[in-house]
Structure 1
Amino acid sequence: EGLRALTRAQSCSCGLTQHPSCPLSSPVYNTENIHDSDGSSSSSHQTPKSTAKWASSLENLLEDPEGVKRFREFLKKEFSEENVLFWLACEDFKKTQDKKQMQEKAKEIYVTFLSSKASSQVNVEGQSRLNEKILEEPHPLMFQKLQDQIFNLMKYDSYSRFLKSDLFLKHKRTEEEDEESPDAQTAAKRASRIYNT
């Protein structure tokens, strides 16, 4: 049972590995239900130099649950969190094998991100041509073009701003402090001194 839960957490594409079941697989992609963990334990399972990995490419950032979490925090401040949520929902959708589940998820993606009444509408070309008819015969790559548009929008717009943001730079500084000092407490004290100045 424990192994099954672990496998479920690892295969989750929402970017939050601390929960037993993925909120993106809930009946509706309600962005209110996707909670960030408080981040207090994030440094304990941090791989060394994850910020260097995040800075090397958006793909690397999106493959790291901690990176996704930080990027989402940043996008939330920019009022464009729906972009990364849509991208994650599409990734999750592509992995769906069951036809009935695929239909449900396709409808959820459409209603949440693409329809004219969507609660977290993304701005993509061609969405006006989308209608509910295509949801009857879903296939894994049906949202690929739109997902690519959103990926490029993030890559050439918000991602570069994220790398210059205080949120990213503070995380990078903390990481460097932790790496320099074997004594974690000293690093934490030094980090708090930096932030309090």
Structure 2
Amino acid sequence: MEHMHDGDSSASSSHQNLKSTTTWAASLENLLEDPEGVKRFREFLKKEFSEENVLFWLACEDFKKTQDKKQMQDKAKEIYMTFLSSKASSQVNVEGQSRLNEKILEEPHPLMFQKLQDQIFNLMKYDSYSRFLKSDFFLKHKRTEEEEEEEKREEDLPDAQSAAKRASRIYNT
């Protein structure tokens, strides 16, 4: 599952990412829609030994978009075996997972994991997310953004000053 949602942060410029922390701090939904936000949140959750929560949530999001029935069966089994089975390698702690038996995996439907996904979302929203916003992971990223913003303003300033100086020289002669 790890390969599914790493997001390539190098593809976006630093100016495009500017103020992403403001967006992330606005809501968990915003954070989860931004590949860089997901990457930072995962790093944080890894340190808290709860990365499986966001991985499960992302896998469910991906699952809901699956159209092909065979692919849906494969993904449903993968989600079950990775996150929900009693032998799962990255088991999430949700109520009702015991009611999900392997028979349901034969006839999957896009919303079959929705209740469990909602539980994990709420767990993250009211637990991990608030700690993330206070964490060094988040605060360091926010400081970096603020420093980049300040540098950008300073870069723009000399051009404006030199244009003003040129203008004053032109009109003073």
State TM-score, norm by structure 1: 0.73
CA offset digits 1:133-179 (Å, max 9, x no partner): 00010000000000000000000000000000011001000100000
Runs of 4+, deviation exceeding 4 Å: 39-43
Alpha-carbon spacing, 1:142–1:92, altered in 2? closer, same or farther (3 Å): same
* Unmatched runs of 5 consecutive residues or more in structure 2: 156-173
Pairing partner for 1:106 from 54, 72, 76? 76
The corresponding residue for 1:190 is none
Q: Following the alignment from structure 2 to structure 1, what is the Cα–Cα distance between the partners of residues 107 and 15?
A: 42
Alignment of 1:83-102 (within 5 A): 83-102=53-72
Q: Following the alignment from structure 2 to structure 1, what is the Cα–Cα distance between the partners of residues 41 and 66?
A: 25
CA offset digits 1:112-148 (Å, max 9, x no partner): 0000000000000001111100001000000000000
The corresponding residue for 1:149 is 119
Q: CA RMSD in A?
A: 1.9
The corresponding residue for 2:158 is none
Q: Following the alignment from structure 1 to structure 2, what is the Cα–Cα distance between the partners of residues 177 and 142?
A: 45
Q: Following the alignment from structure 2 to structure 1, what is the Cα–Cα distance between the partners of residues 121 and 104?
A: 22
* Unmatched runs of 5 consecutive residues or more in structure 1: 1-12, 19-38, 185-197
The corresponding residue for 2:6 is 16
Pairing partner for 2:50 from 72, 75, 80? 80
Q: Following the alignment from structure 1 to structure 2, what is the Cα–Cα distance between the partners of residues 72 and 40?
A: 17
- Asked if the contact 2:7/2:39 (under 8 Å) is kept, the reply is no
State TM-score, norm by structure 2: 0.83
Q: Which one scores higher on RCO, CA 8 angstroms, separation ≥ 6?
A: 2
Q: Following the alignment from structure 1 to structure 2, what is the Cα–Cα distance between the partners of residues 65 and 40?
A: 11
- Asked if the contact 1:15/1:66 (under 8 Å) is kept, the reply is no
Instruction: Specify the code of the residue in structure 2 equivalent to 1:109.
Output: I
The corresponding residue for 1:124 is 94
Displacement of 1:14 = 4.1
